[in-house]
Structure 1
Amino acid sequence: MKREPVVLTFSGVDRALVTAGPAVLGAVLGIVLPMIARWAVDLEIPLPFRPVWVVVGSMDRWWEVAVQATILAVLGALATMEILRRTALVTVADDEVRLDIADDHVRLARAEIEAVYREGDALVVLDRESKQAFRGEPRADKARLEQAFREFGYPWRDADPFAELYHRWAPETGLLPVAVEAVLSARAVALRKKAGREAGELRDALHKLGYAVRDDGDQQFWRPLVRS
């Protein structure tokens, strides 16, 4: 019998922390910062950016504190929006997995999925050619993800099943075709510039050339794709 899909998102506590926490923290900081600043200035010790501390400590009228608290609360709300924008809602069903990040919606049929695992904060789904069909930060924690994928019979792994095939990339070693070297070189520049979108596009280009890549900071590791 076909089961109802499971939607994996923030737990109740995590949802409260993400949706209200940053704004509340910002408001509280706006109220207490002037008191902390006055206390620090009165100590007459060397302070980095001392003029800033003096300005903040000078805010003692209620409306000045209220304005500052409102500004920091708005910044907290913007931080919440950014967290929601970059994290994935994961839906696990009998026949497919759906992954939704902002306006990006990925649907992967069960038959297309070779492995699912966590790598750091990211959820990774590999297809039958061992390409990364999806990589992103999920809203659910690892335990809930693992439980859902295992219950629905998906190939959950404790780690990357192809980890031993990776080689650290160094320029001009002669181990790779010229086209692959060119893409990895361009991608190294993108990683140094923190250009995530460009690095992702170059990852896709490597897939088309028959290679996978993963990152450790700005260092790249490559392997040939493996068909199942």
Structure 2
Amino acid sequence: MNHTTVHLNFSKADKLFLWLMLPLIGLVIGYFLPPISEWASKLEWVPFQGPFKLVASLNAGWVIFATMAFGLLAGIILTLVIYDEILNIYISEDTLVFKIGKVEMKYLKDDISYIYIDHKDLVVIGHEGQEIFRYKKEISTKILKEELGELGYLFKDGNPYKEQFKKWVPGLTDLSLEADALLKAREMMLKNDNSEEALQIAIELWKLHVSVKEIEAKQYYRVA
């Protein structure tokens, strides 16, 4: 990457909420866990009887401090997991890098025609009008537009391809058999809430110049 690299994910307000509120919520839950465990352990229909009975059986004064520490740690870990799973954007003068969990995609500025926002999705368009990246962003459009513009990327307002997307119906499209099979597999991943695999399949579709997005849990596609 170039020496000047901007990293974008959450807004300052969202970061403040995540780093303060989630650990604080964990701390509060940890504080009330001992009395809750004592109450729940007496009700056989309540699930997780094992952990509740274990906490209830510990009458030492240190228990509440241990559960509070555990709650605080759980809140911090949850925050880190959220940071890892959302879209992280790294902008430099010659490259644009996206990281989502274990997936990392790098694009040269010379391979990018322009960028636009489709609802909450950040969309990157190649020189043949094809989508080469699409994913839900967390950062505000205003900040994203400013940072991209400062580093020389073309950002367009609105969705120039809005009318070109078609609802995908298995076997009843103008797509190739390969693209149709990929959309079937992606639909299954979406139903199973497997976002990482759904992204990997979308990457394969982009290679075929097939764009894909969801509207009300249905897949829509566009061929460039």
More off after superposition, 164-173 vs 203-212: 203-212
| Partner AA of 2:17 in structure 1 | L
- The match for 2:222 is 223
TM-aligned CA deviation for residue 61 of structure 1: 6.0
State how far apart, in whole Å, the 1-side matches of 2:136 and 2:211 are: 19
Gaps of 5+ in 2: none
In 2, are the aligned partners of 1:188 and 1:218 still within 8 Å (CA)? no
- Does 1:29 find its partner at 2:24? no
Q: Which residue of 2 aligns with 1:191?
A: 190
Offset of 1:224 from its aligned partner? Answer: 0.9
Map 1:31-110 onto structure 2 (within 5 A).
Answer: 31-32=31-32, 49=46, 62-101=61-100, 104-110=103-109
- Rounded Cα–Cα distance in structure 1 between residues aligned with 2:121 and 2:59: 45
Q: CA deviation at 1:109?
A: 2.3
Provide the secondary structure at the position in 2 that maps to 1:197: helix
- SS of the residue corresponding to residue 173 of structure 1 reads coil
Decide which moves more: 77-86 or 198-207. 198-207
Contact 1:112–1:128 at 8 Å: present in 2 too?
A: yes
Verify the 8 A CA contact 2:87 2:137 in the aligned structure 1. Answer: yes
| 1:133 pairs with 2:120 | no
What letter corresponds to residue 31 of structure 2 in structure 1? I
Deviation at 1:196, TM superposition (A): 2.4
**What is the alpha-carbon distance in structure 2 between the residues aligned to residue 167 and residue 68 of structure 1?**
52
- The corresponding residue for 2:177 is 178
Give the match for residue 156 of structure 2. Answer: 157
Partners in 2 of 1:183 and 1:169 — Cα distance? 12
C-alpha RMSD of the superposition: 3.7
CA change 1:118–1:32 in 2 (3 A) is: farther
Specify the code of the residue in structure 2 equivalent to 1:212. Answer: S
SS at match of 2:113: strand
TM-score (norm 1): 0.72
How many correspondences in the alignment? 215
Shift of 1:148: 1.5
Question: Which amino acid counterpart does residue 145 of structure 1 have in structure 2?
Answer: L
Match of 1:44? none
The CA deviation at 1:73 is 1.9
Q: CA deviation at 1:138?
A: 4.6
Give, in angstroms, the shift of residue 84 of structure 1. 1.9
The alpha-carbon distance between structure 1 residues 13 and 200, as it changes in their structure 2 partners (threshold 3 A), is closer
Distance of aligned partners of 1:224 and 1:24 in 2 relative to their CA distance in 1, 3 Å threshold? same
Map Cα deviations across residues 146-195 of structure 1 (whole Å, 9 max, x no partner). Answer: 22223344222334321210000112325434333333223222222223
Q: 1:161 to 1:26 in 2, by over 3 A?
A: same
Distance verdict in 2 for CA 1:62–1:11, change over 3 Å: farther
Equivalent position SS for 2:82 = helix
Deviation at 1:51, TM superposition (A): 9.7
Quick one: distance in 2 between partners of 1:121 and 1:204? 18
Shift of 1:121: 4.4
